[in-house]
A and B are shown apart, each in its own frame.
Chain A
Amino acid sequence: MAAGSPIGGIPCLLIEILKEPVGGSAGLGFSIGGGIDQDASRNPWAPDDTGIFVTNVMPDGPAARAGLNPGDKILQANGYDLTMATHKDAIKYLTKKKEQVIRLKIFRPDILRTRGNPAM
C-alpha cells in the first residue's frame, strides 16, 4: 500500500512486544502516562490530548527492541481501545496476565517518515 493519506482512519504503526515478566512488573519495559481522567494540559507532546502516551522506554527492554519510542500515543492494545481510556484502565489492558504478546497500534507525529509498516 502506498504511504499516502488513506481515506478515513488514522495512520498508525503496529508494534508487537513480547512480554518478559520479571518479578512483579508485567515486563513490557516502558512507562505510560495520560488518560481521560488526567490533566491533558501537561502533556509534553500533544497538549490537550487525553490519550495514552509512552513517556519512557527502558533501554534494552522488550519495548525498545520492538521499536517503541517515548512520545508515542497508543491507540490500541490487543484490540482494546485506549484512546478513550482512563489511566487505570489502560494499565489494566496492557498488563493482562494471560496475554504474552501485546500488539500495540501507536501513532507518532512523524509517522509518515518512519520506516516500518503503516497499518490502519
Chain B
Amino acid sequence: METESVRSGNSSYVSHRSHRNRDKHRDRERKRRHNHSTSSSLLKADRSVTIQTPPHSTTGGGEGEDGEEVIEVQILPQDDNWGDNTTAITGTSEQTSMEDISRMAKDMEDSIGLGSIQHLGVVIATTLSLFAFLTPIAFVVLPLVLWKETLDPCNTVCHGLFISFAFKLLILLIGAWALFFRRPRVVMPRVFVFRSMIMALVFVYTLSYWLFYGVRVLDERPSNYQDIVQYAVSLVDALLFIHYLAVILIELRHLRPQFIVKVVRNTDGENRFYHVGQFSIQRAAVWLLEQYYRDFPPYNPALMHIPTRAPKQLTGFKFYDVDGNPGNASAGQTRAMIAAAGRRHESIHKERYYEEQEYERRVKKRRVRFVCATEEAFTHIKRLSEERGPAVPMDPHEAAQAIFPAFARPMQKYLRVTKQQPYHTMDSILKHLAFCIVHDCTPKAFLERYLTPGPSIQNESEIHKKQKWTLVSDLPLHNSLEPGMSFALREQSFSLLVTVMRIPTIKLKEDYQDPKSNKFVLRLQSETSV
C-alpha cells in the first residue's frame, strides 16, 4: 500500500477506499462538467492511485483542465496497523501478492465493519439450518391447518410414518446440536469453504422441496395425507444425509494424517513437528495455533542473551620495541598485530563458552537451593487428621502463607536468574501453593511449575484477551496443504514459520521368521600361544 501512495508532485492522496469509488466518481464527473481541478496525468498514468473524494470537495478525474486550482486535500489517517489491529479478519496482510480484486474485497470488509462480518457467516448458517429444520414440520402441519376437512383420516401406515418422522427429526436435532453448537473459538480470515458449501446444499434442497410442495400440494390440495407425510419424511432423510456430509467434511476428513508440519519460532528456534491431515491453509493455521498453546514454552525475550558478568575488555596490544631497532619495527608490529587479532578472535569463542558455563552453574546452584528450601518448608505442614497432639488448624491459604516465607527468597533468586519473574506474581504463587497443599502434593509437584517453563497456556494473563495472529502466506488461503508449502503466523513479538512435508508412502511387506530358525553356535576361539 505504501508504495502507491508516494507522489510528490501533486498534493493528492491515496485512500484505501480507492477502487470502488474511483469509477463511480469518474463517471459522475464526466456527466457534471463543473470546474474541477485535475490531476489527470496522475490518474491516467497509474490506475492504482486515486484521489479521495469526500462529498463536498471538488477533485477531478480525467477531463480537460480549467484554470481553477481548487485542490482540496483530504488527509486520511493512514493507519499503518490496519492489517494487525483486527482479529485476523484482514489476516492476509501486505505480504500477499494477490490481485487488486482481493484487496478491494478486503477494503469492503473493512469498511462494513469487522464484527459483523465474522458473525455474518454464523448467523446465516443458523438461520438457514433453523429454516431447514422447521420445513418438514411445516409440510406436515400446513395441510392440517388449511384443508383439514378434505383430508383422509390417518391410517396405520400414516401413523408409522409420523413416528419415524418424529424420531428422525429428533436425531437430526441432537446431531446438529452436538456438532455445530459450539462456542466459536476461532475467527478465520476467509470464508470457511466447507461450511458455506454445506449451507448452500441445505439451501438448495430446502428451496427445491418448497417449490415442489408449493406447486403440487398447496395448489392441488390432495387428500391423501400419507403422501404428504412421506414427502416430509424424505426431506428429513435428505437433511440427515447432509448432516452426515457435514460431519465427514468438517470433522473427519482432516483426522487422517497426511503431512508432517514443522513449526519453528523465529526468535528462539523452538520447533515442533506435528501430524496434520487434509486441511486448507487457514484451518491448518488454526489447528496449529491450538497446538502451539499446548506445546511451546512462552517466549521470553530476556532469555535471548546470556547474562554476563562485567565483560573483560580486551584492549589493543601495546607494542614495545625491545631491540631498539627502528627499521624492522613496522613489519614486526603488523605481523604481531595480525597474530594478536587472530588470537582475540578465538578468545571471543572462549569467552562465550565460559560465560555460558558460568551461567548454567549459577542456575544450577540456585535451583538446588530453591529445591532444598522448598522441601524443608513442606515438612512443616501436615494434615490435621494426621497430627496428634495440640494443633492450630489453618485453612489452606493460611497454611500457604505460613510456609511461603521459608522458601520465598531462594525462589525469588531462582526466578530472577531464569528470567521468569514476570510470569509469576506473588498471588499466583500462593494460590498454587494452597492448591498443592490441599491435594497432598509433594514439593516436587509444587516445583514443577517453576523449574520447567511449561506451555504458553499456563500464563494466565495472556489468555484472557483474544489472541491476535496474522497469517502470512503467498498462496490463497483456501488452498489445501501441499508438500513444500510454507507460511508464517505472526504475532506481535515473534512469528511461527510453518513448513509442510509429506509423510512418505510406506510400502509394508510381510516376512515370516520361523522360530525354529533361531539357533546359535558358539564360536571356538583359536588357541592362543602363551
Contact = CB atoms under 8 A, between A and B. Distances in A.
B524 interface: yes
B523 A94 contact: no
A32 B528 contact: yes
Interface string B493-530: 00000000000000000000000000001111111111
B527 A55 contact: yes
A31 B527 contact: yes
Interface stretch (A2-10, A22-30, A109-117): A22-30
Contact of B530 (A26, A38, A39, A42): A26
A21 B61 CA distance: 112
Contact of B524 (A25, A28, A31, A42): A42
Given A39-B521, A39-B522, A87 B529 contact: no
B49 to A, nearest CB: 89
A93 B521 CA distance: 27
A53 to B, nearest CB: 9
A95 interface: yes
A82 to B, nearest CB: 12
> What is the predominant secondary structure among interface residues of chain A facing chain B?
mixed
Interface string B433-448: 0000000000000000
Interface size of B as a range: 10 to 19
Interface residues of A, number: 19
A83 interface: no
B37 to A, nearest CB: 104
A33 B527 contact: yes
Interface string B393-404: 000000000000
B525 A32 contact: no
A68 to B, nearest CB: 11
B382 to A, nearest CB: 56
Given A38-B522, A39-B522, A87 B528 contact: yes
Q: Which residue of B521, B524, B526 has the most chain A CB atoms within 10 A of its CB atom?
A: B524
Nearest to B521: A39
A91 B528 CA distance: 8
A105 to B, nearest CB: 16
A100 interface: no
Contacts of B526: 33
B522 to A, nearest CB: 4
A95 B523 CA distance: 24
A56 interface: yes
Contacts of A37: 522
A32 to B, nearest CB: 6
A38 B524 contact: yes
B525 A38 contact: yes
A18 to B, nearest CB: 14
Given A38-B522, A39-B521, A39-B522, A95 B530 contact: yes
Contacts of A28: 530
Contacts of A31: 527-530
A30 B530 contact: yes
Contacts of B528: 31-33, 87, 91
Contacts of B529: 25, 30-31, 56, 58
B523 A39 contact: yes
Q: Which residue of B521, B528, B530 has the most chain A CB atoms within 10 A of its CB atom?
A: B530
Contacts of B525: 33, 35, 38, 87
Interface string A25-68: 11010111101011100100000000000011010000000000
Contact of A56 (B522, B523, B524, B527): B527
A87 B527 CA distance: 9
Contacts of B530: 25-26, 28, 30-32, 91, 94-95
A55 B523 CA distance: 17
A96 to B, nearest CB: 11
A31 B528 CA distance: 5
B524 to A, nearest CB: 5
Contacts of A26: 530
6 contacts: A30-B529, A32-B527, A33-B525, A33-B526, A39-B522, A56-B527
Interface of B: 521-530
Nearest 3 CB-CB pairings of A with B: A33-B527, A39-B522, A31-B529
Given A25-B530, A38-B524, A39-B524, 20 more contacts: A30-B529, A30-B530, A31-B527, A31-B528, A31-B529, A31-B530, A32-B527, A33-B525, A33-B526, A33-B527, A38-B522, A38-B525, A39-B521, A39-B522, A39-B523, A56-B527, A58-B529, A87-B525, A91-B530, A95-B530
